[in-house]
Amino acid sequence: MKKREYRRMVERYERELERNRLAQPGVHEFIVVLDHLKPEFNIGKIFRSADALGAREVHLVGIGPFDPAPSMGSFRHVPARFHDEIGECLEELKQWGYTVYALDPAAREPLPEVEFPDKSAFVFGHEEFGLSFDPADFPGVRLLRIPQFGKVQSFNVSIAASIVMYEYVRQKRQGAWGEPRIPVGRGRQPALDEEPETAAGRSPAQGRDSK
């Protein structure tokens, strides 16, 4: 990243960080821990998913300024807590009564077979180097894997985080999903007996959503 681009990124980050100080915990108890991720893309995307799925907080370990743009404004809404070292983060979560899970493609425990307690925290490591710590040094950390069936371990960390968060929410909601938050008429599919809406006399195939 060029110096000018980096400076602009830092300015965006500082503005959004001030707004983040007013963020309130989401409707669920789970916490996301980001362990030394790169600053460019994935952090913002994970905040976006954490907001959508009602995370309590996102903890950032060893992470300085990052680009908030991929969060699409969600960095303002999910409380962020910052740590220099993973040890202090895990100790804090332990004191709060959290069970900590770390994602590892070599783990023996598959995600769909785990029943998560309400107070669950999920650790996601660096995009290239994985976790910054040896899980053996933290006996309370449980390792999970997302089952995959291709020839390579191909999930991007933001995708993997979204899958794990959604599985937690799926278990906790137990069918009580609530009402959609998207306003009616925006992204709504017409009923079977309803003519599709048009814009300025155009058919839906000619509208902007078809581009």
Q: Tell me the pLDDT tens digit for each residue of 104-163.
A: 988 999 999 999 999 999 999 999 999 999 999 999 999 999 999 988 777 899 999 999
Identify the CA nearest to 78 among candidates 49, 57, 93. 57
pLDDT of residue 184: 55
Using CA atoms of 165, 170, 173, 178 in order, give the dihedral in degrees to the nearest 10: 90
Rounded mean pLDDT, 76-95 = 97
Q: Is 3-173 assigned to CATH 3.40.50.300?
A: no
CB 56 within 8 A of CB 31: yes
Domain ranges of the chain: 3-173
pLDDT band at 186 (very low <50, low <70, confident <90, very high): low
Would the pLDDT of 175 be above 90? no
**Cα angle: 86, vertex 88, 94; to 5 degrees:** 100
Q: What is the pLDDT of residues 13-32, one digit of tens each?
A: 999 999 999 999 999 999 99
Would the pLDDT of 57 be above 80? yes
Identity (one letter) of the amino acid at 204? P
Of the two residues 133 and 204, the one the predictor is more confident about is: 133
Q: What is the pLDDT of residues 39-52, one digit of tens each?
A: 888 999 999 999 99
CA distance 211 to 207: 8
